[in-house]
Structure 1
Amino acid sequence: MSLDWSALGQVTAVSIGVTVAVVVVFALGVLGLARFEGAREENGTVHAGSLTQAALCFAACAAVVAYGIYLIVPRFH
């Protein structure tokens, strides 16, 4: 039995990279929601940019999760 160490290293690097990217995008979504709520509580005006940022970030995270499920479940292929 032999292992292809370079392939294992590539899979590990991509997994870590995608994990960090999803966490950063999710954190940016939470930041957008926090800015939206803070602006609404502070002066009663709604800033659509923060809400749009949050929605896009959460949609990107949902797309990554959906793609992962698509790759794992053989029935979807």
Structure 2
Amino acid sequence: MDIEWGTLGGVFGVSLGTTVVVVVMFSLGIAAWARAAGEPHRGRALPGRGREKWAVAVAAVCFAACLAVAGYGIDLIIPG
């Protein structure tokens, strides 16, 4: 039995990178969702209704990206 260390390192790197990207996207989605709810940001509320709509859109895109990555991972695991 022989271990291909280069391939193992590549898989580790891609897994680590994907994990970091998904965590950051989910965190940005939660932050945008909080702004859309009117939560104060550093002691002051965001003015205007248009910014709340943008915050909801950003949150939806972030959560959709996380869902897409999770769905793709499940698709790779489950045999077709």
Amino acid at match of 2:57: T
* Other-structure match for 1:73: 78
* Other-structure match for 1:49: 54
CA distance in 1, matches of 2:48, 2:15: 42
Normalised to the residue count of structure 1, the TM-score between the two structures is 0.86
Amino acid at match of 1:19: T
- Structure 1, unmatched stretches of 5+, are none
1:17 and 2:22 are equivalent in the alignment: no
Provide the identity percentage: 48
Offset at 1:45? 3.9
- Structure 2, unmatched stretches of 5+, are 40-44
CA distance in 1, matches of 2:36, 2:63: 15
* Other-structure match for 2:42: none
In the alignment of these two chains, the number of paired residues is 73
Amino acid at match of 1:54: A
CA distance in 1, matches of 2:34, 2:49: 14
* Other-structure match for 1:33: 33
* Other-structure match for 2:6: 6
**Alignment RMSD, CA only?**
1.7
